[in-house]
Structure 1
């Protein structure tokens, strides 16, 4: 049992994380960042939930770049093959659920 105060979590580097759980190969991690990630496609599906701050989620749909503005409580679901990159507006904390070892 553990209680995690997500707003108090700070990593020592951008996209640093705290693993919360690994349930049969599906990880749940709390990430802190103040810098964009990189364009990538996950090895499987990904759930990305904003807990603190605002994230501009860039993704490609039929070859065209789109941007979804994600605020606290918003969730982005990346299906298999979805190319995407998160751009935080300042500091953010996000919960990411994905296959263990995914990019």
Structure 2
């Protein structure tokens, strides 16, 4: 059985990913980054779990930009239509569970 030690994972570029599993059209990926992503809306829901580091999640709610500081162990759920962008505070490792093919 595969085993992953998230704190040891790095990628050659920001938001580089290690594919963990495909579950009936849902992808589970481990991302490494030290740079912000970009504002986006996923095609479906997304679960974003910080495994290592700190991430400031910016999201729009009722037309207003809000921020939530996510610590190691915190989980963010982006519902359908939730526009959001992650800003790591230094290096971070994040487990992302989303519809396969989402950005």
Same fold (TM over 0.5): yes
* TM bracket (short chain): over 0.9
The residue number in structure 2 matching 1:14 is 14
The residue number in structure 1 matching 2:45 is 45
- Secondary structure in structure 1 of the residue aligned to 2:7: helix
- Secondary structure in structure 2 of the residue aligned to 1:17: strand
* Alignment partners' CA distance in 2, 1:23 and 1:81: 22
* Alignment partners' CA distance in 2, 1:100 and 1:73: 23
* Alignment partners' CA distance in 2, 1:84 and 1:27: 19
TM-score, length-normalised on structure 2? 0.99
The residue number in structure 2 matching 1:78 is 78
How far residue 44 of structure 1 moved from its aligned partner, in angstroms, is: 0.3
Q: Which sections of structure 1, spanning at least 5 residues, go unmatched?
A: none
* Alignment partners' CA distance in 1, 2:72 and 2:55: 9
**1:91 counterpart = 2:88:** no
- Secondary structure in structure 2 of the residue aligned to 1:7: helix
Q: Which sections of structure 2, spanning at least 5 residues, go unmatched?
A: none
The Cα offsets for residues 21-78 of structure 1, whole Å up to 9 and x where unpaired, read as: 0011100000000000000000000000000000000000000000000001100000
* Alignment partners' CA distance in 2, 1:79 and 1:54: 21
RMSD: 0.3
The residue number in structure 1 matching 2:63 is 63
TM-score, length-normalised on structure 1? 0.99
* Alignment partners' CA distance in 2, 1:86 and 1:6: 18
